[in-house]
Amino acid sequence: MGDDKPLSERQENMLAFINDYVAKNGRPPTIREIGKAVGISSTSVVNYNLTKLKERGFLERDAEVSRGLKLTKKAASKVGAVADAISDAVSNLIRVPIKGRIIAGEPIPAFEDAFDAEDDVLELSSNMLSTAPSDKLFALEVSGDSMIDAMVYEGDIVVLKEQSTANNGDMVAAWINGDDETTLKYFFQEGPQVRLQPANPTMDPIYVDANNVSVYGKVMMVVRHT
């Protein structure tokens, strides 16, 4: 009955590492190599988990030999399932380019571009943004505190859907034409003008002629800076 208990993530990672190591090197890894691979500094903790794997039939082990490890047939199917799960998780990721920095405060000239287009990307699960095609997404790092009541803080990343229109109440990256300035605010169309509303009671809204405001994108999610 105890044999039906799922392996811990650490034990699954051990099996996957041993399998990959043998495939690449033609021999099993050492205890220290296993520990390093799965983030365990204590060899006794590695040994404990290897013993558990042996007891459950996933591993054959010769304690007298430094590399005396061998995966069983039972482990082979388990490793395959782990590999498939990892593959599914990777294929489910979308890469969102971080295009620059936007001020959640007073408008600034364009986006402050401090990012490398090749390397600066945000990897997210597609399940988190199922309503937006990945090729229409981009991200900006937030600077300033005008949106703190919306739980958007300095250093956070906002993920936006590229679009040129907005509904009242949408949080958007807006371009103020003529001044060539951008800002992150709530959007409200009020007759011939647009109100760009901060989420900070100490700051005043920005009123702009509707013809002089362009929407770059609507905020879909906020990735908290840690």
Catalytic residues: 146, 185
Question: For the chain, percent helix, then strand, then coil, each to nearest 5?
Answer: 30, 35, 35
Q: What are the residues whose beta carbons fall under 8 Å from the beta carbon of 161, sequence distance 6 or more?
A: 132, 136, 137, 217, 218, 220
Where are the extended beta strands (E) located within the chain?
59-61, 69-71, 93-103, 108-109, 121-125, 137-143, 157-162, 171-176, 181-190, 193-197, 206-209, 213-223
Q: What are the residues whose beta carbons fall under 8 Å from the beta carbon of 146, sequence distance 6 or more?
A: 103, 104, 105, 106, 183, 184, 185, 198, 199, 200, 203
Q: Which two tokens stand for residue 196?
A: 């760009």
CA end-to-end span of the chain: 42
**Whole-Å CA distances, 122 to 20, 47, 158, 165:** 28, 37, 10, 24
